[in-house]
Structure formats: structure tokens, C-alpha cells
Structure 1
Amino acid sequence: MNNKVFFNNKICDAEDAKVSVFDRGYLFSDGVYELIPYFKKKPFLQDEHYHRLKQSLEMIGLKNPFEKEVWLEKIEKLIDLCEFDNFSLYIQVTRGVPKKLDDGVLREHAATKKYNPSVCMFCSQIQDLSKNSPKLKNAITMEDKRWLQCDVKSISLLFNAYAKTLANEKNAYEAILIRNGVVTEGCSSNVFIVKDEIIKTAPKSNLILPGVTRSFVINELIKKNKYLIQVDNYSEEDLLNADEVFITNSTQAILPIKKINNKIINNGGTGDITNKLYKNFLEFLE
């Protein structure tokens, strides 16, 4: 398999991709990322993902390295070399490496110097959703111990990775995070519940990432079906007593949750509303 990586205006084999140890992304997680799914080689909601990347860069005071047209040109060059039909495009931008390393100060918290930003992109294969029914998943709950700027798509994912690893060890796909008794989101997903045919999900705030698929499900699929939705805070008790629970993310769209901790949801099956939304999602991709 001939995987390619775009790094600072050059495309190389994955085995040859290297980053400086003095990159602020490596030293301080000083950067942001974005992930764009491609289904049958077509990008899904590319403009919305680009807008979120641009917004994340602005929120950490990092200049966008390219205009949108240039981004699209560079993405296209990499995508042309991708061997997959269904894949995710990972984009990462860090503040980069100091332009001068001769002052004896190789690491400092404050970004006081002039830097060459680092831009990295690569593709990872994902499943063809059109060939699959919605996959039932297990989840656990954990206290949300992340920082208070979760609406930035930061590359600092230490707690997310830790919680996701704990979930995996407990035979669960996702860790659903709880802050002060209120459900925020999953480590890599947004969370929806259904109770008495009313859908609920957490509102946009600094405590959750504004998921692109989340917005699509709310503004397109739920609206199309005229389902009732409440975008408001809800408790862990509401989560565990829901009729249906599903999560959304960019690469797997909509995933029904069959068990949370030791609590079985919807008798371990996919709920009617979740199933309908998933089918609508596949129809949109056709």
C-alpha cells in the first residue's frame, strides 16, 4: 500500500514523513486539526469542515497558512494519489518551528519568536457506509476532565485518547463525558438521546466541539422528518433512561448505542428514529 503524506508543500511516502522535535505542535500541542470524510471519493460537507478549521485557527491566534483556493489545490494533489474509495483526510496545522534556533532557547511556553508553521495532511481508509447497517456500539460514562475550550479542534487530545482507551479496554466504542452531572459529548462524537419521540442533544458552547455531522443531522435529517428536537442540557440520568441513544461523527455518521456501562438501551437494538436517520444519511450520499 502506497500511503502518501503532505508535509509543508511536499508529498512523500508515509515512512519518510518527519517532523522537527522543536515544532511547537510536538512540544506543546500548539496546533489544530480537521478531518474531512470522503465517501466514494467525494468529500462530505467540505466547506463546513474548512470553516471549522479556519475558525479553530483564529481561536488560537494562528494565521491560516493558505487561502481557501490554495488549500483545495493542495488537497486535490494529495487526494489524486489516494488509493482508497472511502477515507478520511486528516489536516493538521501547528505554529511550527522557530525560524532561528541559534539563540540557545529551544523550548519556551510563550510563542515569542517567528515561526514557520507546519502543515500536514494524510488519508486513512474508512468503511463504506452504503454496505453496512448501523453498527450497534457499547459506551461507558466518565467525568469530563478536559479544559474549558472544547470548541477548538485542538491537537491536544490527551484526555480524549486516555478515556477512549479505557472505553476500549471495557469493550466499549465510546466514553460519554459528564460534567457536573450534565452530558457534554463523547471523546470523538456528539451524543443524542431520544425519549418519548423527542430528540435531545447538548447545545453549542465552549464545552463541546461543534460537530459538522451533528449540525447536518439536526438541520437536515431531523428537520426533514419533522422530529421534535430539544437542543438543551440533559443529565446522566436522562442518558441512561433514554429510549434511544446515538452518537454522530464524521467517518461513521450515526452509531446507535446499545449499552452504557451496565445499562441496556432499547433492548439492545437500533431504535426506529435512529434507524430512519441513518437511512436518510445514506440516501444523501447516493
Structure 2
Amino acid sequence: MSDSNDASSMAAHGARSEAHKGDDPAEDQSDTQGGFFRRFFGALGADEEHDGEEDDLQGDGDDTAGGGFAPNLGLGNLRRLSVEDVMIPKADVVSVPAAITKDELVQTFRESGLTRLPVYDGTLDTPTGFVHLKDFALKHGFNGQGTDYSLEELLRPLMYVPPSMTIGVLLQKMQAERRHMALVIDEYGGVDGLVTIEDLIEQVVGEIADEHDQDEGAYWSEEKPGSYVVQAKAPLEEFEAEIGFSLTESEDIDEEEIDTLGGLVFMLLGRVPARGELVEHPTGIEIQVLDSDPRRIKRLRVRLPEAIEG
């Protein structure tokens, strides 16, 4: 059997093993785990004791007196949703080949804005591990300078999980093993997608701002003349006033139906675009998708015609 088949078989075996572990999200919870997850799974456990109550508890949004989670969080999602409900589909996974050069890896980190990238041999169905930006930067610097380059030396092991696993089980497993990312593997060893710990927690507490998100109220920043990094939720009229262009004067655009820049992109394409996708606006403006998932657009780069020509 080839190395590629061995890798797929090992991934499938690992995913099948995980499918039979810990149907209770609080199983094997240790006394030494951090306060956040202790409260998180404690809240889940308390919810499970009341079978007659609604899955999604309702409340006024304040934390409990004992420092627990607000009772209106979507704790029921931990038991109700499976990994396949929240994963990033395989087609949208940003990954790199094992033979990637140092300069290409730097460029991928920069363009994707991600800190962890799966690494594969041949195709993503034969993953070999993942590379962390921190490991790369410590050895080569953020610009890829430094010692002799070997991606294999930087690889960390991947977590493999089946699509049927509930997100509560996976969330606890990630916390226990200090992992932030897992590949979703089918029974034949093929990759179905990828899921991150942020994806899981957002199902309970709502969208989480990360280090790449703009501050609330700062919907955009100008990188250089004519080039902007913009939150998808930026009010369309305000951004039009900033750039001096009308983005809704086209027969393909119904301005009454959209309020945000992300809504404009969705209307132009008729779907949620993939990360890295370029959208050409009728005015000649170029819109690049910097961050998105299968459910929503998050962050965009807008380049005005003068910036494109320059």
C-alpha cells in the first residue's frame, strides 16, 4: 500500500475511533481544566438535567450570579449540531502542499490571514499535518528570512474527526488536547472539510471578533491610496461617501434590498463567495474576499480603479 493510502487509512481510523468516544460532552472532564471551559460545560450539564425545558434557554443576557454563562446562550447547539453542520467545506479549505516553497508559504499566510494551514502530500485527502505561523516565524522570521527551510520540521499533528460527532464532544476534545483545528474525515479516509474551535464556540456565544477584525465602529481602514480593508457589515451608504463612488447604480443591483457592503457582494454573485475570490463591480472597482465561511462574508478588500491601474 502506498504512503498516500496509508495516510488516508490512518485518518479514517482516527475519525472512526473518535466517533465512538464521549457521547456526553462532559465525559472525563478533569478538575484542572481552565475556568472558561469548566463554566462552559458546567452550564451545559445544568441544561441537560432539565429535559422538559427548551434547548435554547432564554434570559435577559446577564451572567448568572455564580459567574456562569448568560442563560440565553445557544447551549442546545452543543448537543443538537454535528461537525458537518458547522465545518468549512473541503472546497473552501485553505491548505498548502508539502512541496511549497518558503516564499509561497509566506504569501499564503499573508493573503489568507490565517495562523494555521493544513499541509498535504499530493491532495488534501492525504494530509501530513499542519504548519503554525508562530513556528514558522520563530525559525524564519515573519518575512521568511533565516535558516535553511524545511516544512517537514515545522509540521504539527492534525486532529481527525468524523462528520457525525456533535460539536459539544469535539469542543471538549479540542480543549483537552489543546487543539484549535481539526480535519473532518469520512469513513473512507477522504477529507470532507475543516472545523476550528472558533466555529464551535460561535454556535453558542455568537460571532467572535479575532485579531483580524476591525474595531467596532471602524468599519474600514485605508491600506494605501485607493485600497481599503472593509468589514462586510460596513454600511453601504457610508462607504460610498468615503470612496466617492455609487455602488448601487446598476440594473443588476436592487439598492432597496441591501444595506451593507457584504450584502452588495452577495447580490452581485448570488451566493456567499469563497475566501480569496475576486468580484468585479460594474464601476471597475475590484472587491476581494479576505475572510468568509460557508454562511457569511466577513472581511473584504476594495480597490478603486486608480489603485488597480497603479
Does the TM-score normalized on the shorter chain lie above 0.5?
no
The structure whose residues are more often strand, as a share, is: 1
Q: Which has the larger radius of gyration?
A: 2
Q: TM-score, normalised by structure 2?
A: 0.27
